[in-house]
Structure 1
């Protein structure tokens, strides 16, 4: 694969990651309606996203596609954890 193809792959993978974390919205709604889900998986996802974001922002060059994929996950997974109690 050439550099452009690899970069495109990174952004497509980032879009898929964002969609994965957007899927937490359904669980957040269920949690708010009293159908509480487990907090463990979204808690681990929150930590995972934090670590990947730090990694992406500290590498040189900055890995923008990795950061873009994980920043929404921090907030959506954390919201899922918070609403699960």
Structure 2
């Protein structure tokens, strides 16, 4: 696979990851409506996505698709966790 195709694949994966993390919005809504979910999944998401975001940003040649794909997971995982408390 050539470099351009790999770059395109990386950005497609980024978009699909962000869509996956947007599913947390429904859980946040349920939490706020008084139906809190488990805190385990948002904690795991925050840790996992935080590590991948750091990895993407701390590389000598930054890996933007990885960082951009995982940062929403940190934010939405944190909001989900805060609303579940």
Could you say which TM-score interval applies, normalised by the shorter chain? over 0.9
Alignment of 1:1-85 (within 5 A): 1-85=1-85
TM-score by length of 1: 0.96
Instruction: Note the residue ranges of structure 1 that are not aligned, 5 or more in a row.
Output: none
Instruction: Note the residue ranges of structure 2 that are not aligned, 5 or more in a row.
Output: none
Per-residue deviation, 1:18? 0.4
Q: Distance in 2 between matches of 1:21 and 1:41?
A: 12
CA RMSD for the aligned pairs?
0.7
TM-score by length of 2: 0.96
Per-residue deviation, 1:79? 0.5
Per-residue deviation, 1:31? 0.2
Per-residue deviation, 1:58? 1.0
Runs of 4+ in 1 over 6 A off after TM superposition: none
What SS does the aligned partner of 2:34 have?
A: coil
Per-residue deviation, 1:60? 2.3
Aligned residue pairs total 85
